[in-house]
Amino acid sequence: MTHLVYPGALHTRFHHALGAMHLMSLAINLLRSKGHTITDGEEEAAILAILLHDIGHGPFSHALEHSLVTGIKHEDISAKLMRDLNVHFEGRLTHAIEIFNGTYPKKFLHQLISGQLDLDRMDYLNRDSFFTGVSEGVISFDRIIKMFNVYDDDLVIEEKGIYSIEKFLIARRLMYWQVYLHKTVIAGEMILVKLLERAKELSATGADLFASPSLNYFLKNDINEANFFSQHENLEHFTNLDDQDIYAAVKVWTKHPDKILSTLCKMLTSRNLYKVEMGNEMANLNRVTFLQDAAVNLLEIKPEEARYFVFTDSIQNRAYNAGVGNIKILMKNNDIVDIAKASDLSNLESLQKTVEKYILCYPRGI
């Protein structure tokens, strides 16, 4: 939903997967040039692992996970899809899967894919900066990769790279607040959550809803963590679903007879989004009640329907956690020191705490 704020941000997971794959090639060449052995087979495996690391994400992953499907972890879906591909390719992905899962002996290969300083983050920070135009997120990925080394099977950063790492951690923090957790982005996501919830409820009551077959499948069936992997068609429909199924349906639903659904859909398509208030404390209950009453009047809906338009939530789960610890610095004297110790920005560790924010959403015009 970032494109609601930064119109250029229409880039996709496909770009990201290609970019991360490219960074993996660079990193492997660099590590080889420093004398670390990485076989051709390991190179292929590492590249495949990062190419596929996000394959289990559905469209609008966070929004969908709170509405259409519930409690299914995208990592589990990625793992399942990789296993299926491994069958198809007759075992060729075995090492890739081990690297992805962290069970392959050279554990630094896993750290390149998933860790405090992995190529995944390095790609998306730069990519998101490019497509949003928010220069705060630009990082020197090429310089950071040049500072990579391996020590005791751990991915480490050479001392000269400390300032680039500081910059990376700060850039990530800034992108969270300026882009990923921008109020308008959250408003767009919340409205999508609410309209999909409503669509699913209507579907449960037998209402007729335009939907592609795969979207229809998730509207009609309750798919959750327990039953997701038990039926093959679940996975087939899930992988078949993309943003276009959702958007094409939302456009049609703007004319649906159900007032809640059509109102929410029109709010999204005409960019008349919720107003979002964000703070360090939960919203005052009286204020919520007041806003719900106002929404009932404004939209001419029933009191029990106000919860689609006025509600609170918290965003701690997705909140920023730089995880400063665990980035190991290889000092010139060959000691290994945690970045939080090595940096004379003494309290870099403050980046580590989880920031929890509370949000309150309500319609504009109240």
Binder among 245, 261, 267, 308 for a second copy (CB under 8 A): 245
Of residues 136, 159, 201, 338, which one binds a second copy by CB under 8 A? 136
Q: What is the DSSP letter of 273?
A: P
- Catalogue the long-range contacts made by 277-283 (C-beta closer than 8 Å, 24 or more residues apart): 277/359, 277/360, 277/361, 278/181, 278/183, 278/186, 278/357, 278/358, 278/359, 279/357, 279/358, 279/360, 280/356, 280/357, 280/358, 281/358, 282/312, 282/314, 282/358, 283/312, 283/358, 283/360
Site string for a second copy, 318-357 (x = CB under 8 A): --------------------------xxxx--xx---x--
Stretch that binds a second copy, among 58-66, 103-111, 209-217, 285-293 (CB under 8 A): 209-217
Minimum CB distance to a second copy smaller for 38 or for 211: 211
Single residue of 62, 107, 251, 287 touching a second copy by CB under 8 A:
251
Task: Read off the DSSP letter of residue 55.
Answer: T
Task: Decide if residue 262 touches a second copy (CB under 8 A).
Answer: no
Sole window of 108-116, 185-193, 247-255, 258-266 interacting with a second copy (rule: CB under 8 A): 247-255
For position 240 contacting a second copy by CB under 8 A, the verdict is yes
* Residue 210 found at the interface with a second copy (CB under 8 A): yes
Give me the least distance between CB of 75 and a second copy, in Å please: 25
Window 158 to 177, contacts with a second copy (CB under 8 A)? 163-164, 166-167, 170-171, 173-174, 177
Q: Which is nearer to a second copy, 90 or 344 (CB)?
A: 344
CA distance 63 to 176: 17
Least Å distance, CB 153 to a second copy, is 30
User: Does residue 89 touch a second copy according to CB under 8 A?
Assistant: no
Q: Which of 136, 293 has the CB closer to a second copy?
A: 136
Q: Compute the residue count for the chain.
A: 366
By the rule CB under 8 A, 26 interacts with a second copy: no
Closest among 303, 277, 300, 301 to 290, alpha carbons compared: 303
For residue 145, give every residue at least 6 positions away whose Cβ sits within 8 Å of its Cβ, in sequence order, or none: 23, 26, 27, 30, 122
User: Do 185 and 2 touch, CB atoms closer than 8 A?
Assistant: yes
Binding a second copy (rule: CB under 8 A), the pick from 25, 70, 94, 212 is: 212
For the bound state, the minimum distance from the C-beta of residue 101 to a second copy, rounded and expressed in Å, comes to 28
**How many residues bind to a second copy according to rule CB under 8 A?**
44
Residue 284 to residues 59, 100, 266, 276, Cα–Cα distance (Å):
33, 44, 29, 14
279 is a site residue for a second copy (CB under 8 A): no
Q: Give the strand order in the sheet containing 275-279.
A: 275-279, 358-362, 311-314
Is residue 152 classed as helix, strand or coil in its secondary structure? coil
Question: Is 180 one of the binding residues for a second copy (CB under 8 A)?
Answer: no
At which residue do the structure tokens 């008349």 appear? Answer: 272
Kindly state the tokens that stand for 170.
């700060």
Candidates 13, 15, 107, 307; binder of a second copy (CB under 8 A) is 15
Query: Considering only 21-29, 34-42, 78-86, 245-253, which stretch makes contact with a second copy by CB under 8 A?
Result: 245-253
Encoded tokens for 108: 């630094």
Nearest Cα to Cα of residue 325 among 304, 300, 350, 302: 350
Among 85, 138, 207, 294, binds a second copy (CB under 8 A): 138
Q: Is 14 in the site for a second copy (CB under 8 A)?
A: yes
- Contact yes or no for 100/48 (Cβ under 8 A): no
Residues found near a second copy in the complex (CB under 8 A): 7-8, 10-12, 14-15, 18, 131, 135-136, 138-140, 143, 163-164, 166-167, 170-171, 173-174, 177-178, 210, 212-213, 240, 242-245, 247-248, 251-252, 344-347, 350-351, 355
